[in-house]
């Protein structure tokens, strides 16, 4: 038995290495770590609220600090507001920048927006210096509001 155990280890080394070498290299960009207990949330409006445009949205963040885009200080990030986004953008790429994915790269913690009448969903996701979600992602619940 004493002579077999080292041999088994050698087999793993010999046959294990080529398998790993054939795995495709990950295309993902480096992710910035976030504390496990970090949380972002809507201070207002409340989930299910009815509002009239324009209205103010206030962003809450617990367990991390807000910093402008480009700042690489640990445990900081800036807010992104996803409006009527059904499929979350990839966690390993910069968050898109369009009417449905709004960046608050100056470190803003509130915004005033106008939306057409009807039901809309809102969700917050924190992004790092390069607008990439943290690891693990710091995302709010998705809330639904009605604009009169």
Which residues contact Cu ion (rule: CB under 5 A)? 103, 105, 127, 131
CB 39 within 8 A of CB 29: no
How many residues belong to the chain? 148
Q: How far is the CB of 129 from Cu ion (least distance, A)?
A: 9
Q: How far is the CB of 37 from Cu ion (least distance, A)?
A: 22
* Helix-then-strand count for the chain, H and E: 1, 9
**Is the Cβ of residue 105 or residue 139 nearer to Cu ion in the bound state?**
105
**Is the Cβ of residue 93 or residue 115 nearer to Cu ion in the bound state?**
93
**Is the Cβ of residue 103 or residue 134 nearer to Cu ion in the bound state?**
103
**Is the Cβ of residue 124 or residue 127 nearer to Cu ion in the bound state?**
127
CB 72 within 8 A of CB 65: no
Alpha carbon of 143 to those of 13, 57, 82, 122: distances in Å? Answer: 51, 12, 10, 5
- Side by side, the strands of the sheet bearing 39-44 are 39-44, 55-62, 110-113
Place of tokens 């994915």: 101
Q: How far is the CB of 12 from Cu ion (least distance, A)?
A: 44
Q: How far is the CB of 103 from Cu ion (least distance, A)?
A: 4
């Amino acid at each position: 038995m004493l002579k077999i155990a080292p041999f088994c280890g050698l087999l793993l080394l010999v046959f294990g290495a080529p398998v790993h070498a054939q795995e495709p290299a990950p295309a993902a960009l480096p992710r910035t770590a976030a504390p496990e207990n970090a949380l972002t949330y809507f201070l207002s409006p409340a989930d299910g609220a009815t509002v009239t445009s324009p209205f103010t949205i206030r962003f809450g963040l617990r367990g991390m600090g807000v910093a402008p885009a480009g700042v690489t200080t640990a445990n900081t990030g800036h807010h992104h507001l996803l409006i009527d986004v059904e499929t979350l953008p990839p966690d390993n790429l910069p968050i898109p920048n369009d009417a449905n994915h709004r960046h608050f790269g100056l470190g803003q913690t509130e915004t005033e927006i106008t939306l057409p009448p009807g039901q809309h969903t809102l969700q917050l996701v924190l992004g790092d210096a390069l607008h990439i979600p943290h690891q693990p992602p710091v995302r709010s619940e998705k809330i639904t509001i009605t604009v009169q």
